[in-house]
Structure 1
Amino acid sequence: MRIPGDFSNIAGIYNKNKAVSKIERIQDVKGKKDAVILSDRARDYQIAFKAVHQIPDIREEKIRQLEEKYSSGTYQISGKEVAEKNIE
């Protein structure tokens, strides 16, 4: 079936309407903001996580004492003690 006539105007109107509705949707989204609400348990976990990461990985005082003993020649440890600690 053939329908006579020029339909380019109709397509143009349709495309303009589509563009306007897209702009309206973008403006609706711009005004909204996401929000995150943490539970008390999550806040406690976050505080504990930060506290654990502030603790140094090594015990600096213990390392300093061992360095002093080693450099002065008073550091004595048996192979058996080392093996026992490795097994633990």
Structure 2
Amino acid sequence: MRIDAYNQIAQVYKTTSAAKLQKTENARHGRDEVQISSFGRDYQIAKQAVTEAADIREDKVAELKAKVNSGNYSVDTADFAEKLLEKYNTSLM
């Protein structure tokens, strides 16, 4: 029976176990990081805007729908564009 071979194997296991323990200790002290893409940020902003938006005013929708269907609804495109840009600019801030 060769005892010296057993000692060599035990030494290998001891070294391997120490390396695993060191890796585990390093992992415990590590820091988790999360990176959110610009699409993710935009999605979060849109989701928040939807949840904060007021409920649909059915009476207003019905009134506008009737005007559109009868051909009596017109929009000043310059005013519309200006309001759209104002909303966009305030959302960037």
Give TM-score scaled by structure 2 length: 0.45
Higher helix share: 2
> Which has the larger Rg?
1
